[in-house]
Amino acid sequence: MTTTVIDSIGLLVTHDSDRSEVHDAALLIEDGVVVWTGESRGAPAADERVDAGGGCVIPGFVDSHSHLVFAGDRADEFEARMAGRRYEAGGIRRTVSATRAASDDDLLANASRLVAEARAQGTTTIEVKSGYGLTVADELRSVRLAATLTSEVTFLGAHVVPEGIDRDDYLELVTGDMLDACAPHARWIDVFCESGAFTVDETRRVLEAGKARGLGARVHAGQLGQSDGVRLAVELDAASVDRCTFLSDADVDALAAGGTVAALLPGVEFSTRQPWPDARRLLDAGATVALASDCNPGSSYTTSMPLCIALAVREMGMTPAEALAAATLGGASALRRTDIGHLRVGARADFVLLDAPSYVHLAYRPGVPLVRRVWGGLNPSS
Ligand code: NIG
Ligand code: FE
């Protein structure tokens, strides 16, 4: 087994509760696992040495929310929104048509391109949802293709009711044959619980069916207005409720008391001109917050976690340290993973060397490619 030491690290972020940040640090990895961290001068000998040149090393980003299996482009909708149009969930059906018409090879090539794009920006774990197929065959191929790219696959048959099928019949399908086909290829089930998509009662029905098939629950809620979907997510012990733009005090209290992570998706607010979620309110209440890209062709066509961090710091009341934690540890909590999102001894050796002395530069130098090198995580050739 080969050991590698990364030394001359200007600032190392471990997220260890005793010593979360170490200056003039080194990191020792063996067989894809972190086996030692500390000050450079105390670093053990190793088979290989990498000089970090004074740069900052952070855990790889854990992007807990994306929709990468799709075809087509909706730049025209974005352009119209920037001119004042509102976001409407109905645009999803355009992507459904393009996705159904695409070949497996084209869908995989597009998703792989986006995974490579995410990794180049420091993402080492990404969750990928289905949801642009919406027939048994098209959802099955979406989760199968997603499973070739990540182990964090989510079945999102309940994205919208597609054209040409009665609502009750579609719910029967999503909780029946479609779920049966997709569950073996997925870890999670999600519902788009928003006006224009699914109601709170429908969301409960779909999530309970998924849980009965062994899938963990996640929910989209609180994007377009306050909704009982947030408290439903906590009640059903969903791993995360994603959006949380509009929250009542009762929602915030429930999130603080429960085991459900509030995942905030600033790329959506950027791309839809909606109000920014109030991360400060959630953090002050004691809720666990994640930041994720929600990469999709409609409401947030970005894979960039550094962009999400910059927006969270600039617009959502987070400190740079809180935003980095939400994009790493928070994302890991949203996927109920303890092996990623930090660099404590025993963690997966998924980490990023920045061309910057501190992670503060992720927000301080917005839009600048600061990732020098990425270790571990997503398969770079996928
Ligand atoms: O915004 N989540 C639900 N839908 C996705 C994509 C929406 C779209 O294609 O417009 C989202 O997260
Ligand atoms: Fe989404």
Quick check: 65 pLDDT over 50? yes
The answer to whether 141 and 135 are in contact (CB under 8 A) is no
Closest CA to ligand 1's atom 8: 298
Tokens 């008391």 label which residue? 257
Quick check: 216 pLDDT over 60? yes
Locate 300 and state its tokens.
């947030």
Distance CA 77, CA 87 (A): 8
What is the secondary structure of 174-237 as a DSSP string?
A: HTTHHHHHHGGG-SEEEEEESTTS--HHHHHHHHHHHHHTTPEEEEEESSSS--THHHHHHHTT
Over the stretch 113-130, which tens digit does the pLDDT of each residue have? 999 999 999 999 999 999
Locate 311 and state its tokens.
């927006």
Closest CA to ligand 1's atom 12: 294
**Least trusted range by pLDDT, from 80-89, 125-134, 160-169, 302-311:** 80-89
Q: Which of 382, 292, 356, 367 has its CA nearest to residue 58?
A: 356
**Over residues 148-175, mean pLDDT:** 97
Q: 90 vs 226, which has greater pLDDT? A: 226
Distance CA 238, CA 251 (A): 14
pLDDT of residue 116: 97
Locate 153 and state its tokens.
């696959």
Locate 68 and state its tokens.
């990468």
Quick check: 381 pLDDT over 50? no
pLDDT of residue 379: 62
Tokens 């996928």 label which residue? 382
pLDDT of residue 121: 98
d(CA 347, ligand 1 centre) in Å? 32
Query: Would you call 103 helix, strand, or coil by DSSP?
Result: coil
Quick check: 193 pLDDT over 80? yes
Closest CA to ligand 1's atom 3: 192
272 lines ligand 1 (CB under 6 A): no
d(CA 357, ligand 2 centre) in Å? 33
91 lines ligand 1 (CB under 6 A): yes
Rounded to the nearest integer, the mean pLDDT of the chain is 96
299 lines ligand 1 (CB under 6 A): yes
Nearest ligand 1 atom to the CA of 70 is: 9
Distance CA 62, CA 85 (A): 32
The fraction of the chain above a pLDDT of 70, given in percent, is 99
In the chain, what are the domains?
3-60+342-375 (2.30.40.10), 61-334 (3.20.20.140)
298 lines ligand 1 (CB under 6 A): yes
d(CA 262, ligand 2 centre) in Å? 13
- The residue type found at 46 is A
d(CA 71, ligand 2 centre) in Å? 16
Locate 319 and state its tokens.
């400190």
Tell me the C-alpha to C-alpha distance, in Å, between residue 172 and each of 137, 168, 180. Answer: 16, 6, 12
pLDDT of residue 133: 98
pLDDT of residue 380: 46
Over the stretch 281-329, which tens digit does the pLDDT of each residue have? 999 999 999 999 999 999 999 999 999 999 999 999 999 999 999 999 9
Distance CA 265, CA 290 (A): 9
